[in-house]
Amino acid sequence: MKPNILLITADQWRGDSLGLAGHPVVRTPAIDRLASEGVAFLRHYAGTAPCSPARAVLYTGLFQMNNRVCRNGTPLDDRFDNIARMARRAGYDPTLFGYTDVSPDPRVHDPDDPLLTTYEGILPGFTVRLKLPEHEGPYLSWLRGRGHDVADTCAAHRAVDPAEVSSAPPVYSRGETPTAFVAGEFIRWLSEQEEDRPWFAHVSFIRPHPPFIAPEPYNTLYDPASGPAFAARPSVAEERGLHPFVDWQIDRCQKAHFIAGASGMAADWSEEQRRIIRAIYWGMISEVDDQFARMRQAMEVAGAWDNTLVIFTSDHGELMGDHHLFGKGGFFDGSYHIPLVIRMPGHDGARGAKVEEFTGAVDIMATLSDILGVAPKTSADGHSLKPFLDGTGPEKWRDAAFWEFDFRDIPHQKAEEHFSLSSRQCNGSVLRSDAFKYVHFAGLPPLLFDLRSDPAETTNVAADPAYRDVRLEMAEKLLAIRAEHLDQTLALTELTESGPMSRRS
């Protein structure tokens, strides 16, 4: 019998913020338990950021250089295959709870179609059970039905304490969070499933995405004074001096993006305030962990757990005060290192394993293709993780993580004007190995970090003559990755006297 498939994404979850990853403070017993029954990929990276581009990589198995979703609002070319369409070919009815942030291809829609007025579209192929866009309308309606007077998301997610940064809770309780709402809808749907028909569910949680606020007990679960030091230069001014892109990023990081009702720039927050926000963020992670435990219990009661393939991951990370920044984007590890735990029923050979090889969001499509036995219809940039799940391991694997980021501003041209670049030049690529990280911009100076002596990424040695050979080697490797992964959809096909001949790689 085919397995059930549960794909969970928890938005903006840092890869280091897990108990199983050895975090000194954060506790995630439910995800840790899942990892003890499956495989944890400890060096897993998003393909890009923010949400829409990151999810395009996850859903298509294509690097940004091929799927070309550059920003929130960039349409996803309808010709690309994706996990939902592939699951349908495998006999599933893939069902969504939450959101996918996929902007539809305008070429296959009428110009007046309202779907073309928002980036919060649905990945083609999904049946939608619960759509929860940024305005959170269904959730707010649910809260009002429970007696809360909340006019909008700002009112719902504002702390009861008037202080700008506070660990005070919101008006809703631990059982009334957006995560609890989505988990409850999944559990209700689960009770409707036929026992002999495998299902595919994508549960897309918004948390721990901002606004950063948590109900009791999560709001005070962690001591703000605890935890590691922030990865940063000593002052905001010194951080700005690292690179022109970082200087620009600091100028764009507004408090209101992270705390409901706040005003001003996030760089003005003190270290004490950053620590309070970080403790709340960790509490939000624990809240998601508890809701996953609730979902698991429901699946166990329904008799579905033992035959369910579970993939737990995120779309991208969160800087969370590192480099005097919040949010995601740019090139720092905090934005791209994300969790991945996979539990595959009947595969106990690697039970409890922790994989140290570099893996990426681009590998999820290839992994599902391998497990389901259904080939993608468009070329894939990732590789199947199934050998890790089997306990054998692949014969050959990558020795570095690769990701991209794009900062063009098509509607307003703010980035283009600030840097005097064209939209085509507003992008960068990153190659991150054990020892070094190389950042290549299309129109700005490069960066090179020696991670052995500078794990916090505070010193750019790209111009240091002592690192010239390393910089050249990393640049050549990055060029080779881009050359190897150019779109191969038809390039691996040739028309011959016997007809079309194709290869997979």
Which amino acid appears at position 51 of this protein? Answer: C
The active-site residue out of 51, 70, 253, 426 is 51
Candidates 348, 339, 352, 386; CA nearest to 35 is 352
**Contact in structure between 331 and 439 (CB atoms under 8 Å):** yes
The residue with tokens 């901002």 is 210
CA distance 47 to 70: 11
**Partners of residue 203 on adjacent β-strands:** 8, 97
**Pairing verdict, β 127-131 and 95-98:** parallel
State the DSSP H helix or E strand holding residue 83, giving kind and residue range, or none if neither.
helix 83-89
CA distance 144 to 486: 50
Helices (H) and strands (E) in the chain, counts: 15, 15
Q: What torsion do the CA atoms of 124, 128, 133, 136 make, to the nearest 10 degrees?
A: 180
Q: What 3-state DSSP class applies to 323?
A: helix
**Contact in structure between 368 and 87 (CB atoms under 8 Å):** yes
Candidates 362, 377, 373, 315; CA nearest to 125 is 377
**Pairing verdict, β 308-313 and 340-343:** antiparallel
CA distance 330 to 438: 13
Candidates 126, 128, 154, 130; CA nearest to 142 is 130
Residues 6+ apart with CB under 8 A from 176: 143, 146, 148, 215
Residues 6+ apart with CB under 8 A from 324: 230, 232, 233, 236, 239, 250, 266, 267
**Contact in structure between 206 and 13 (CB atoms under 8 Å):** no
Token representation of residue 92:
């599933």
CA 364 vs. chain centroid, Å, equals 12
**Contact in structure between 455 and 228 (CB atoms under 8 Å):** no
CA distance 416 to 408: 7
Which amino acid appears at position 362 of this protein? Answer: V
CA distance 58 to 364: 6
State the DSSP H helix or E strand holding residue 469, giving kind and residue range, or none if neither.
helix 468-484
154 is catalytic: no
Report the catalytic residues: 51
